[in-house]
Amino acid sequence: MDKPEVNAEVTAELLVDARAKLGEGPLWCPVEQALYWTDIQSSTLSRWRAADGAVRVWPMPERLGSFAFCEAPGRLLLALASGVALFDLARGELLTPIMPVEPENPTTRLNDGRCDPQGRFVVGIYNQTPDEAPIGHFYRIGCTDGALNVERLPLPKIGVANSLAFSPDGTRMYFTDSPTRQIWCVDYHADGRLGEPRPFVKLGAHEGYPDGSTVDAQGGLWNAQWRGNCVVRYDAEGRETDRLALPASQITCPVFGGAGMDELFVTSARAGVTAEELGGEPAAGGVFRLRVGRRGVGPYRFRG
């Protein structure tokens, strides 16, 4: 079966030739007008500033799966390999000890995560065994009186957590276990309750694997498709509306940003791309920018 048609009118610009081993989790900071992202395998956090194009890199104490901006300026919540911690950007150091998450599973690490509208951070695990078996869970991180707390969510076990995103009104959460090629959605309540997961989109065998996602102001879900060379938009009913080509095969995560929140920034990965493949995709591991004619919504911040 042929792949669906690509929108040839939208082209990707290589914004940063980051050559990331595993670029992931981009977030746009409207206050700084800056893009942040992680290279998980290199244990680094990077920032690109729109004002001057400067890139700064912070070394991390462990692999950084994802992160969130905090309500307190200059602070991040980090989802590190072994657990979560608060981080001070100016000092470049942790503000709290790492709180372990899922220590009973030695082969797992924290992976994709996003803040909900209530300022809590939802994050899932990645099982690092070759079969990526579904042995891990999703968690919700909160903060009470300055102390981080961890809650396991009543969702199916997963092997590679990805596509975590919330609808603009915060009443729906998306997620996937990437090897299954199935994106799910679940009703999400402000008091923390979850509905029953239901299928949203199933990628075909001829497509890639669903990786990270973001939403636009109209409720569309934009999903990066690993080994699919593309980002695909689905409307709230799961119908494909846009398919955008990227000059790299291992596309990992999109996010909206820019002064008008109408630019799509996309990370990618270089690890695992063969020498022969690199000849055809020299920008693998880069950060790309596309002007897609739609507006996104700003990131929710962690209340801690």
DSSP assignments along 91-113, one per residue = TTEESSPPEESSTT-TTEEEEEE
Average pLDDT over residues 126-130: 96
Confidence at residue 8, expressed as pLDDT on a 0 to 100 scale: 65
**CA 124 → CA 54, 132, 205, 282, distances in Å?**
31, 13, 24, 31
Describe the chain by its helix, strand, coil percentages, rounded to 5. Answer: 0, 50, 45
- Considering the domain boundaries, does residue 302 fall inside one? no
**Residue appearing with tokens 């790492």:** 98
- Considering the domain boundaries, does residue 8 fall inside one? no
The rounded distance, in Å, linking the Cα atoms of 264 and 165 is: 15
- Considering the domain boundaries, does residue 1 fall inside one? no
Decide if pLDDT at 304 tops 80. Answer: no
- Considering the domain boundaries, does residue 31 fall inside one? yes
User: Residue 254's pLDDT band (boundaries 50, 70, 90)?
Assistant: very high
The fraction of the chain above a pLDDT of 90, given in percent, is 93
DSSP three-state, residue 194: strand
Average pLDDT, the chain: 95
- Considering the domain boundaries, does residue 7 fall inside one? no
Decide if pLDDT at 6 tops 80. Answer: no
What are the tens digits of pLDDT across the range 68-120? 999 999 999 999 999 999 999 999 999 999 999 999 999 999 999 999 999 99
- Considering the domain boundaries, does residue 189 fall inside one? yes
- Considering the domain boundaries, does residue 6 fall inside one? no
- Structure pTM? 0.95
Confidence at residue 3, expressed as pLDDT on a 0 to 100 scale: 52
- Considering the domain boundaries, does residue 299 fall inside one? no
For the chain, how many structural domains are there in total?
A: 1
Containing domain of residue 273, as a range? 13-291
User: Residue 126's pLDDT band (boundaries 50, 70, 90)?
Assistant: very high
What are the tens digits of pLDDT across the range 149-205? 999 999 999 999 999 999 999 999 999 999 999 999 999 999 999 999 999 999 998
Residue 21 and residue 249 in contact, taking contact as beta carbons nearer than 8 Å = no
User: Residue 1's pLDDT band (boundaries 50, 70, 90)?
Assistant: very low
What are the tens digits of pLDDT across the range 256-292? 999 999 999 999 999 999 999 999 999 999 999 999 9
Cβ count within 10 A of residue 296: 26
Confidence at residue 10, expressed as pLDDT on a 0 to 100 scale: 79
CATH number of the domain bearing residue 210: 2.120.10.30
Average pLDDT over residues 248-252: 97
